[in-house]
Amino acid sequence: MSIKNHIPNALTLLNLFCGCIAVIFATHSHFIAAAAFVFGGIFFDFFDGFAARKLKVSSELGLQLDSLADMVTSGVVPGIVMYKLLSLSMQRPEMVTDEGSWNAYFSGDAIMPSVLPVIGFFITLSSAYRLAKFNLDEEQQDYFKGLPTPANTLLIISLPLILELQPNEMVNAIIMNQGFLIALTITSTILLNAPIVLFALKFKSFDFKPNAIRYIFLIISIVLLIVLKFAAIPIIILTYVAMSMLDVVIKGSY
């Protein structure tokens, strides 16, 4: 077996490695560092599949390994982050309006014992179920059924980034509201396994016509990131879902 056969799996393992490090940082409420490794993991997750297709070395082992790596980076990590956010929402609500204290607040390790924050791990359970279904579904080559776990992870990890890096009294109050966090958790678990068709960001060619929706989405995403920074991520995820549903209506089906 040549070296090129191992390249995609090596990239997948780098995704898993990033996920493991992200877990460590997330459990200690170091969300910026956790997010950095999540972004790295998602980067490797994208390019392992790209490398496998380009090198023509796709394998069943690679498919299984990819889902196992995603389970950590895009399953365990967002569950921990939501658990921590729900835990933090139960402590000292006046901190929500004290922008200067956010860094110190998030660096603490104290967790108020409660059953409520465990709801956050529903995201992990739903991610596991989604990844298992994906491995058994041979149709999801050019599209996804339900929100991909990396996209869902970006949505969840964006919340502490907004709180820490773009503090705003009103936005902080919304994000740290228990009702909002529980509603987002429920929405997340539903979207991960909902029977909705979403386009995949896989380019078989760089021609505009067959990839029009992908190019338009990428342009919109870049503009939103430049203007809104991390606050753009939730909007980008909503845009992705909305554009996918509109695309299905226009095309009729994939």
Give the CATH number of the domain where residue 154 resides.
Answer: 1.20.120
- How far apart, in Å, are the Cα atoms of 21 and each of 37, 39, 105, 204? 7, 12, 21, 32
Please say if the pLDDT value at position 102 is more than 60: no
- Domain annotation covers residue 150: yes
Domain annotation covers residue 146: yes
Which pLDDT score is estimated for 101? 46
Q: What is the mean pLDDT of residues 16-22?
A: 97
Q: Is the pLDDT of residue 177 over 50?
A: yes
Please say if the pLDDT value at position 103 is more than 90.
no
pTM above 0.85, yes or no: yes
211: pLDDT strictly greater than 50: yes
31 within 8 A of 87, measured Cβ to Cβ = no
The answer to the question of residue 15 being in a domain is yes
Q: Which domain holds residue 187?
A: 3-196
Q: Is 254 inside any structural domain? A: no
Give a yes or no: residue 52 inside a domain: yes
Q: How many domains does the chain have?
A: 1
Residue 132 lies in a domain: yes
